[in-house]
Chain A
Amino acid sequence: MKHKIRPNAFIGMLATVAISAVAHQIFSRAAGKSLLDQQRGPRSRSERMKRQLVWALLIGAAAGGPTLAHHSVTGAFDAEDHFEIEGRIVEVEWVNPHVYIHMEVTGADGQPQRWALETAPTQFFRNAGVSKSMLEGDGGSATITGIRGHDKSQLIGFISRITFADGRFIQVTDRF
């Protein structure tokens, strides 16, 4: 495991992102096992088709705007200080108003560090078909990007994307 922080890596992208929400889309494509399949074991063809149909029926507005948070994200987190850390997800707190993901990384001094990373409410993940176990992954390494807290003395942040070792990812927001 390694630990790397890339502050300000996406300032340009941030500047282009207006406060908005994403309008609904209907899209589904069969491509191997889904995250759900991997978490819950093999499914029959009909089950997989049903799952894909559920995805296709997910209609509505997606995150990206103010409703991502119970409070203002930028009130607590620094929208101009982006991080990318690689480590192991050791705990997912399935609580409101924000799910917390705890990641253990190896610091520059070789010692383990534990980051507490805030993300969207449980309802948002549920509506997207993302379960707690999907956020936990398989216990292997993962990479998380997001923005750090204003308080730089704490290993805290707000998550924009989780990428698992096999390349699968969950993008929570495109604001940061």
Chain B
Amino acid sequence: MNEPIKAASGVMLAALCVASVCAQETPRTPSGRVDLSGVWFGGFQPSLGAVTDGESVCMASCEEIEGSEDVRMQFPPTERPTYKPEYLARVAELNENQVIEDPVLRCENPGLPRIGAPDKIVQTDSELVFLYDDVNGSFWRVIPVDGRGYREDLEPTFLGDALGRWEGGSLVVETVNFVDETWLTDDGAIHSDQLRVVERFSRDGDTLTYQVTVHDPVMLAEPWVKQPATLNPARFEIVESPPCRERSLPLMQDLSSHDNPR
């Protein structure tokens, strides 16, 4: 084989390696399940892109620090569920008075799916534990994956009663038994106590795809399929969230002026 052919072969092998052979393997537990353990982040994590010159910190672009004139990124369009006609007026009314009505602005539990993907997952063969380091507080869920059924002795809760199952390499979590006090989004998206949330976690290497479908046969015209979120291993540990004490709501002049995208 002459030198040019050798070189070309090397480049091709390298390309193949990048494409498949040498791609990062998906971690597995000793029992062979896809390992979802770890701290994850995704979506919008403001200030993770902070830059410093060793003395000052730019959590948003500023002229003094080289590298802080960043490429700007637009937020994706807000996703909203589709309601049955009889609920549209109520949702619109709540939306117009979000500052007064939104439970999240009173530091309450955001509920599912508004709380988003878990910040940390602890996995065993029989259950997974989801931990949330949220602005509204520290929350947790236990997800049995040992084939048991839903408990019948539980009162409804903000984050519901969850059961998990493995479908191929994906974890599917179905959660029911919710209170009807939370919103699905920040714009008045209420739900009934018949809410059922299906979450699917699929890991490929260091990429975790989080897919949520929301079912509410009472209020929604159709299941709400949210856009998948992509998460990656975080390089930090979660900590207990400081107390949530919202104080500026009495100062609000525009009751519908809300821009909290979750």
Give the docked Cα–Cα distance between A51 and B39 (Å): 20
Q: Which of B45, B105, B258 contacts A61 (CB 8 A)?
A: B45
Asked if A50 is at the interface of the complex by the 8 Å CB criterion, the answer is no
Which A residues, 98 to 155, have Cβ-Cβ distances below 8 Å to chain B? Answer: 98, 100, 118, 120-130, 134, 149-151, 154
Are A75 and B252 also in contact (CB < 8 A) when A20-B75, A61-B73 are? yes
Give the docked Cα–Cα distance between A70 and B245 (Å): 11
Asked if B242 is at the interface of the complex by the 8 Å CB criterion, the answer is yes
User: Is B49's CB under 8 angstroms from A61's CB?
Assistant: yes
User: Is B46's CB under 8 angstroms from A67's CB?
Assistant: yes
User: Is A32's CB under 8 angstroms from B259's CB?
Assistant: no
Give the docked Cα–Cα distance between A123 and B116 (Å): 15
Give the docked Cα–Cα distance between A97 and B72 (Å): 25
User: Is A129's CB under 8 angstroms from B244's CB?
Assistant: no
User: Is A33's CB under 8 angstroms from B99's CB?
Assistant: no
Are A75 and B46 also in contact (CB < 8 A) when A66-B260, A172-B59, A174-B61 are? no
Which A residues, 53 to 99, have Cβ-Cβ distances below 8 Å to chain B? Answer: 54-55, 57-77, 94-98
User: Is B261's CB under 8 angstroms from A62's CB?
Assistant: no
User: Is B68's CB under 8 angstroms from A25's CB?
Assistant: yes
User: Is B243's CB under 8 angstroms from A151's CB?
Assistant: no
Give the docked Cα–Cα distance between A149 and B251 (Å): 8
- Closest-by-CB residue of B relative to A74 is B257
User: Is A63's CB under 8 angstroms from B59's CB?
Assistant: yes
Are A64 and B46 also in contact (CB < 8 A) when A71-B260, A97-B135, A130-B59 are? yes
Are A58 and B48 also in contact (CB < 8 A) when A65-B75, A171-B59, A173-B59 are? yes
User: Is A120's CB under 8 angstroms from B59's CB?
Assistant: yes
The DSSP consensus for interface residues of chain A is loop
Asked if B53 is at the interface of the complex by the 8 Å CB criterion, the answer is yes
- Closest-by-CB residue of A relative to B239 is A126
Asked if B86 is at the interface of the complex by the 8 Å CB criterion, the answer is no
- Closest-by-CB residue of A relative to B259 is A66
User: Is A27's CB under 8 angstroms from B67's CB?
Assistant: yes
User: Is A70's CB under 8 angstroms from B46's CB?
Assistant: no
Give the docked Cα–Cα distance between A170 and B52 (Å): 9
User: Is B61's CB under 8 angstroms from A67's CB?
Assistant: no
User: Is B133's CB under 8 angstroms from A123's CB?
Assistant: yes
Which B residues, 37 to 51, have Cβ-Cβ distances below 8 Å to chain A? Answer: 41, 44-51
Nearest chain B CB to A95 CB, angstrom units? 5
User: Is B48's CB under 8 angstroms from A59's CB?
Assistant: yes
Contacts of B61 in A (CB 8 A): 22, 62, 64, 174
Are A97 and B244 also in contact (CB < 8 A) when A58-B48, A124-B46 are? yes
- Closest-by-CB residue of A relative to B243 is A95
Which B residues, 61 to 93, have Cβ-Cβ distances below 8 Å to chain A? Answer: 61-62, 64-68, 70-75
Give the docked Cα–Cα distance between A99 and B10 (Å): 55
Nearest chain A CB to B254 CB, angstrom units? 5
User: Is B242's CB under 8 angstroms from A96's CB?
Assistant: yes
Which A residues, 1 to 35, have Cβ-Cβ distances below 8 Å to chain B? Answer: 18-35
28 CB contacts below 8 A, A to B, read: A25-B49, A28-B52, A31-B54, A33-B54, A34-B55, A60-B41, A61-B45, A62-B48, A62-B50, A65-B75, A66-B261, A69-B260, A72-B252, A73-B259, A74-B257, A75-B253, A76-B248, A76-B253, A96-B242, A96-B244, A100-B247, A120-B46, A127-B50, A154-B251, A167-B56, A168-B56, A171-B56, A174-B61
- The 8 A-B residue pairs with the shortest CB-CB distance in the complex, in nearest-first order: A60-B48, A27-B67, A128-B50, A66-B259, A62-B49, A63-B46, A128-B47, A76-B251
20 additional A-B residue pairs with CB within 8 Å, beyond A22-B72, A96-B107, A123-B135? A19-B259, A21-B72, A22-B61, A55-B51, A58-B48, A61-B44, A62-B50, A65-B75, A67-B260, A67-B261, A71-B105, A71-B260, A72-B259, A76-B248, A96-B242, A96-B244, A122-B242, A125-B59, A129-B57, A151-B251
